[in-house]
Structure 1
Amino acid sequence: MDGRTIGLDPWSQTVGWLTMQSASTNARARESQRADESVARRQRCISTELAHANVAVSVIDRPTASTATVAWCDPSSCRYGDQVWRASVARQAGTCALSGRSIGRGDAIYRPRACRPSPLNAGAMILAAVVEGVPRG
């Protein structure tokens, strides 16, 4: 041994640096995604009547007895041409996005199918009686 320090080769140093940068970037991306989801949840808490006042909604199809395909067009936020909604029970009072009728907690409704990221209309509801009036395709 001649007393020289043995260090990592440049390739190993580069790979190590890139690994650390990637981990840092992924952590920041996850934090940003959590913040975005939190904002979306708060926005969905706006009164259903106000949030969906200018929305065009129509039931396109009834693929099964417990699902409906809905076209949703909100000129101020989103458009879903063939969104799948599922039968459910209202967890809170609201307004039917299709008929404008009141929805009480516990009423039979349809709501957008849960997915990630949550759709902007995730808090919307349509009374089951209104959806079930549309023939199944």
Structure 2
Amino acid sequence: MAPAAPALHDPWTATISRLGKSPTQDSKLASSDKCDKGACAARPARRSATAERAQTAASQHSDAVITFVERFGAKSISITWRDSTAGRYTEQLWVRRIARSRGVCALTGASIVRGDAVYGPFSRPSSRPRNMSQMILAEQLDDLE
């Protein structure tokens, strides 16, 4: 007798069965569960920058280890950022700007409101760091120096 096919209603069994599938097969399976006869197209989920900032603001401050390295001028500093989820950035350039959204200070956990002076990672459109949505209150850094 051949062994019976595993029931895919158990979450653990469903996870194990999906391990060997490609991401496109997995998204087709997930979309077929949610859509009625082509009512929605199978497409990968996209997160906008606004959604990332909202998630960051809703969460508590990061567990990153932040080390001040050097001040280059009135509006730019260098820090080392180590985080298990965003990676490690050695001597990353951060620039002073005005917060465009609410958030949480990555250094202290203090609330950031729109219009506060903050430091954030410098980026180019071609290469955005994973910690791009993080902010540090400028007054907190200025007090440390």
Answer whether contact 2:56 2:134 (CA < 8 A) is retained: no
Answer whether contact 1:59 1:134 (CA < 8 A) is retained: no
1:85 maps to what in 2? Answer: 94
Distance 1:51 1:44 in 2: 14
More helix by share: 1
Structure 1 residues 47-103: Cα deviation after superposition (integer angstroms, max 9, x where no partner): 246375321112211111110101111112311011000010000111111111111
Cα distance change on mapping 1:60 and 1:89 into 2, 3 Å: same
Matched, 1:66 2:48: no
Distance 2:73 2:110 in 1: 24
Q: Percent identity?
A: 31
Cα distance change on mapping 1:119 and 1:102 into 2, 3 Å: same
1:39 CA drift (Å): 4.9
* Divergent runs of 4+, >6 A: none
1:76 maps to what in 2? Answer: 85
Cα distance change on mapping 1:51 and 1:75 into 2, 3 Å: farther
Taking structure 1 as the reference length, the TM-score comes to 0.62
Unaligned runs of 5+ in 1: 1-37
SS of 1:132 mapped into structure 2: helix
Unaligned runs of 5+ in 2: 1-45
Distance 2:137 2:115 in 1: 11
Taking structure 2 as the reference length, the TM-score comes to 0.59
Structure 1 residues 84-129: Cα deviation after superposition (integer angstroms, max 9, x where no partner): 0001000011111111111110001111112221110111100011
Let me know the Cα RMSD of the aligned residues: 2.6
